[in-house]
C-alpha cells in the first residue's frame, strides 16, 4: 500500500462527502525575495517540474506578461499550457526556474499568498461557488479586502451587465457563459494586479466566446495585465500582444500575436493552414 491515507476505493457518499481532493491545501509556503534584474511584470522563467513526485511536465518553459498587455499561451492538447500557468501560481512542484512578480521572486510563496500579492486566478473547472448567489460569489472574491467593496462590485456589474440582473440567483443555475463571467468577476473583486485565465472560453458557444474575448480586451484596456491559456488559438492570438506556443512542455515559438499568426510554421502546425 503506497499511500495509507488514500480511500482504498471507498465510494460511500453517505459517510464521506465525494468530490475531488483539494489541489491547493497544504501547498508549500515560503517567503518572497527581490528578483535580480528588471524583467516583465509577471514571469515564469525556465520552469521545470511536474505534479508531486511525478515526471516533469514542463521543461525549461518560460511565459510572461508585461503591464497593459495580453499574453496568450497556446499549443496542442497536452502541451502543458494549463500546467505552465498553474506552475506560475504555485500549484505544482518546480524543480527549476523562477517566478517573479513586480520585481520580486515569489517562487516559494503558496497560492493563497500569491493571491494576497495581487494575482487573480480563474481556474478552468470548478471556478464558482455553485450554491451561492452571484452577489455572494463576488463578495467571497473580495474576502481578503477590508475596505468597501461596493465600487468594485459596480465595476464588475458594468463589465458584465447580465450579472447585475442575476445577482440573487445561485451561480450554479447559470449558463456556461454566465458562469465564466461570474468566475472572472470573482477574480476581479480582489482588484488584482495581474489576471490569469485558464481557458476562459472552454465549453461555451462561439457567440459567447466572442463576447467573452471582447470583455477580456476591455479588462486589459484598463491597464490590467492578462495572461490566458486558450484552446481557440487563432482568435486568441488575434487579441494577444504576446503569444507563447508550447509543445510538450517546451517553448516552441514565441512572439507577438501578429507575428505568430503570420508565421508559416505556426500556421501549419497549430492553426490549420
Partner 1 sequence: MDLINAIVALLNFVLIPATAYGAQLALGALGVTLIYGILRFSNFAHGDTMAFGTTITILFTWLFQSMGISFGPLPTALIALPFGIAGCALLLLMTDRVVFRFYRAQKAVPVILVIVSMGVMFVYNGLVRFIIGVDTQRFADGERFIISARDFKEMTGLDEGLALKSTQAITLVVAAVAVALLFWFLNRTRTGKSMRAFSDNEDLALLSGINPERVVMVTWLIVAALATIAGTLYGLDKSFKPFTYFQLLLPIFASAIVGGLGSPVGAIAGGFVIAYSEVMITYAWKKVAGYVLPESLAPDSLAQLLSTDYKFAVSFAILVVVLLFKPTGLFKGKSV
Query: Which stretch, 125-133, 212-220, 226-234, 241-249, contacts partner 1 (CB under 8 A)?
Result: 125-133
139 binds partner 1 (CB under 8 A): yes
CA-closest candidate to residue 197, choices 225, 155, 239 = 225
Rg (the chain; Cα; Å): 19
Q: Give the closest residue to 172 by CA, choosing from 201, 138, 137.
A: 137
- Position 130 contacts partner 1 (CB under 8 A): yes
* Single residue of 1, 2, 15, 147 touching partner 1 by CB under 8 A: 15
Residue 28 binds partner 1 (CB under 8 A): no
In angstroms, the CA 254 to CA 263 distance is: 11
Q: Which is nearer to partner 1, 21 or 53 (CB)?
A: 21
Question: Of residues 5, 28, 34, 273, which one binds partner 1 by CB under 8 A?
Answer: 5
200 is a site residue for partner 1 (CB under 8 A) = no
Options 1, 2, 13, 151; binder of partner 1; rule CB under 8 A: 13
Rounded (10°) angle between helices 134-141 and 150-159: 120
23 near partner 1, judged by CB under 8 A: yes
Please list every residue from 213 through 252 that binds partner 1, using CB under 8 A: none
Residue 53 makes contact with partner 1 by CB under 8 A = no
Q: Write b or e for each residue in 181-219: b if 16 or more Cβ atoms lie within 10 A of its Cβ, otherwise e.
A: bbbbbbbbbbbbbbbbbbbbbeebeeebbebbbebbeeb
Spatial neighbors of 51 by CB under 8 A, at least 6 apart, are 57, 92, 93
Q: How far is the CB of 38 from partner 1 (least distance, A)?
A: 28
CB 230 within 8 A of CB 217: no
- Residue 12 sits in the site that holds partner 1 (CB under 8 A): yes
Using the rule CB under 8 A, is 104 a contact of partner 1?
Answer: no
Q: Site residues (CB under 8 A) for partner 1?
A: 5-8, 10, 12-19, 21-26, 111-112, 115-116, 121, 123, 126-132, 136, 139-141, 143-144, 186, 190
Amino acid at each position: 500500500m503506497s499511500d495509507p491515507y488514500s480511500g482504498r476505493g471507498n465510494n460511500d457518499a453517505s459517510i464521506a462527502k465525494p468530490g475531488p481532493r483539494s489541489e491547493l491545501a497544504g501547498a508549500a509556503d515560503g517567503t518572497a525575495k527581490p528578483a535580480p534584474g528588471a524583467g516583465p511584470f509577471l514571469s515564469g522563467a525556465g520552469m521545470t517540474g511536474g505534479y508531486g513526485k511525478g515526471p516533469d511536465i514542463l521543461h525549461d518553459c518560460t511565459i510572461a506578461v508585461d503591464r497593459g498587455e495580453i499574453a496568450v499561451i497556446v499549443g496542442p492538447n497536452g502541451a502543458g499550457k494549463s500546467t505552465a500557468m498553474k506552475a506560475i501560481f504555485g500549484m505544482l512542484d518546480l524543480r527549476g526556474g523562477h517566478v517573479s512578480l513586480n520585481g520580486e521572486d515569489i517562487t516559494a510563496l503558496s497560492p493563497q499568498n500569491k493571491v494576497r500579492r495581487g494575482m487573480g486566478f480563474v481556474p478552468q473547472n470548478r471556478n464558482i461557488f455553485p450554491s451561492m448567489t452571484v452577489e455572494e460569489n463576488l463578495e467571497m472574491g473580495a474576502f481578503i479586502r477590508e475596505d468597501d467593496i461596493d465600487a468594485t462590485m459596480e465595476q464588475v456589474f458594468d463589465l458584465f451587465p447580465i450579472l447585475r440582473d442575476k445577482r440573487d440567483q445561485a451561480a450554479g443555475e447559470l449558463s456556461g457563459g454566465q458562469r465564466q463571467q461570474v468566475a472572472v468577476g470573482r477574480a476581479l473583486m480582489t482588484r488584482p494586479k495581474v489576471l490569469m485565465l485558464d481557458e476562459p472560453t472552454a465549453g461555451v458557444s462561439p457567440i459567447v466566446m466572442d463576447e467573452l474575448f471582447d470583455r477580456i480586451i476591455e479588462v486589459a484596456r484598463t491597464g490590467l495585465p492578462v495572461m490566458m491559456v486558450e484552446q481557440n488559438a487563432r482568435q486568441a492570438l488575434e487579441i494577444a500582444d504576446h503569444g507563447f506556443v508550447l509543445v510538450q512542455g517546451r517553448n516552441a515559438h514565441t512572439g507577438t500575436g501578429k507575428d505568430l499568426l503570420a508565421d508559416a510554421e505556426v500556421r501549419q502546425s497549430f492553426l490549420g493552414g
